[in-house]
Structure 1
Amino acid sequence: MVINLNVNIMVKKLYMVEGSPVANAILMAARAFDVELELQQLDFAKQEYLEDWYLQINPAHTVPALDDDGFIVWDSHVILIYLAETYGSSSTLFSNIPKVKYKILQMLNFNCGTVFRRLSDCLRPIFYENQKTIEQKYLESLKDSYKVLERILESSKFMAADTMTIADISLFSSIAVTDLILPVTDVEYPRLREWLIDMKNTDLYKAGEQGVDTLKNALDVMLEM
């Protein structure tokens, strides 16, 4: 591990695993807020996230984790809020208007507790147990998430407000990957499909596209698809 001891430079270091959907969310948000990050890649295969030096940074041994000049924040959803409030005060991606803010937080929590959790249920057996297929019950759970998001988009073009917010970035980081294993079709989920395409056409996606491609390549190798 390399530690930058130059106290005159405020280092914003992101500890991450290439291909992680939640890491992609942070990379896209950093691009939106014009925040430069020093990327510290952890070796997933060697379980580097369980090593003592990283546990001192993040006792929960999850990625990503952000070190902003010595201030540590972990959990991607909290990191998104931190970046928005610290570096995005002039951005429309977050809001201090209570009702708008709580809608954003609501959708961040929906991604954290439901969409990303269900995605993790699909991916965990592949990467930790070397399974070659995804159990149907997990795919059915993803379908339920799609239905919820489709209903939300009936009344708004974006997930939490009339314009894009960090809630869209967070959910997009998950849906861009779930789409690889359970395609979002325009027949079943036309609004969600349109939202997904619109998000892919944003400049922000350039910051997360490599991560999505990395995970796609890994899935192509590990799954019987």
Structure 2
Amino acid sequence: MKPIDLYVAPPSPTSRAVIIAARYMHINVKLIIIDLMKGEQKEDWFVKMNPQHCLPTINDNGFILWESRAIMTYMANKYAPNNPIYPMDPKQRGRVDCLLQYDLNVLNRAITDLMIPLRRSNKMNQKNNQRQSSTKFLNTIKERKVNEALEYLESILINNHYLIDNHLTLADFSVYCSLEFAEKYHYNLSRYQNLHQYFERLKQILCGLLF
């Protein structure tokens, strides 16, 4: 099988989720790294392929698709149709889709809204040689939204090893990468016992699938 061209930005949670999904399902992909800092995603050749100039993007033998969750479900449907990672049962699949959308619209959005301004503030202080605690820049309202999103996941994991009962699905990959992004910027996940154990468990399973 000719490899799928997979255009990614390695630090991006959405890019990382697609990489994990592809490798977990043993799908042949060719990673093409796009440097966002250099604006490579806005070069003519890329915009012609993807007018939204967003990552990740795939080119599967001429079929172009972007948005990480759409890419993951497409790959599962086409290349791993019997893999329980994306269940065939409509109800189970519906639960996976629901959590993928929860990650997109609630969890990832809340984490990004909190962490991106924090990162920029910290960089600015480093340039000014100021040593101020990063907690000073935490926006209370934004942090509350993150906490609410995490509390919901904590409730799911009280009796489950993974988000959908006790087996991995695409939803776990997407949520894991959002949590990984939060941890990278020193968000304390340990206050949520079940969620923290879940995150550490996934880290052991999935870390070898990344760079």
Q: Percent identity?
A: 24
* Runs of 4+ with >4 A deviation: 126-134
Which residue of structure 1 lines up, in the alignment, with residue 198 of structure 2? 195
Which residue of structure 2 lines up, in the alignment, with residue 140 of structure 1? 144
**Counterpart selection for 2:169 from 158, 165, 170:** 165
Letter in 2 for 1:60: Q
Correspondences of 1:40-55 after superposition (within 5 Å): 40-55=32-47
Question: 5+ residue gaps in structure 1?
Answer: 1-8, 211-225
TM-score by length of 1: 0.81
Structure 2 Cα separation of the partners of residues 183 and 81 of structure 1: 30
Report if aligned partners of 1:115, 1:142 keep a CA contact under 8 Å in 2.
Answer: yes
SS in 2 for 1:13: strand
Correspondences of 1:71-86 after superposition (within 5 Å): 71-86=63-78
Aligned length: 198
Question: 5+ residue gaps in structure 2?
Answer: 126-133
The 1:10/1:58 distance shift into structure 2, 3 A limit, reads same
SS in 1 for 2:17: helix
Which residue of structure 2 lines up, in the alignment, with residue 206 of structure 1? 208
Which residue of structure 2 lines up, in the alignment, with residue 68 of structure 1? 60
Report if aligned partners of 1:104, 1:166 keep a CA contact under 8 Å in 2.
Answer: yes
Report if aligned partners of 1:153, 1:159 keep a CA contact under 8 Å in 2.
Answer: yes
The 1:37/1:126 distance shift into structure 2, 3 A limit, reads farther
The 1:126/1:191 distance shift into structure 2, 3 A limit, reads closer
Correspondences of 1:88-103 after superposition (within 5 Å): 88-103=80-95
Which residue of structure 2 lines up, in the alignment, with residue 152 of structure 1? 156
Letter in 2 for 1:83: M
Structure 2 Cα separation of the partners of residues 193 and 16 of structure 1: 27
The 1:198/1:108 distance shift into structure 2, 3 A limit, reads same
Letter in 2 for 1:192: L
Root-mean-square deviation (Å): 1.9
